[in-house]
Structure 1
Amino acid sequence: MSIFLNVFASTEELAPLVLPVLAFPLIAAVLLTTLGFVTWSFRDVANRQGVKPSKAGSAHDAGH
């Protein structure tokens, strides 16, 4: 039985990769950098809106 396992283990081949090994972390780094830039570009959108939320208890809300 151990002879069969040795022969089987020696004939086993690894599956070929679609891309080289270093391409996978490079793709991940580019993707995360791009997503980080998109997130960074929207960092001040809430402050650019024309209508600011009113403070609780202000004179504008007193009649409601």
Structure 2
Amino acid sequence: MILAPLIAFAAEESEHAGNVAAETAVYGIVALVIFTLLAFVTLSYRNVANRHAPKAEAYARAHANDVQRVEHGH
């Protein structure tokens, strides 16, 4: 026998009486909700550095001598 008729025969005798795509749609909806929530979390960190600019400038002034200058010989 060929493989295609075997697959067709197995599909006929399966226990799924309804639409398999409708049964698995829940997984797609859950994934969509999770990725949407993750996108909101990611977007909430936009522009964070500019929200605290005076604090960052004060830290940079206080620790200006801590930065080592490295010369690259390119």
What TM-score, normalized by structure 1, do the two folds share?
Answer: 0.49
Higher-helix-fraction structure: 2
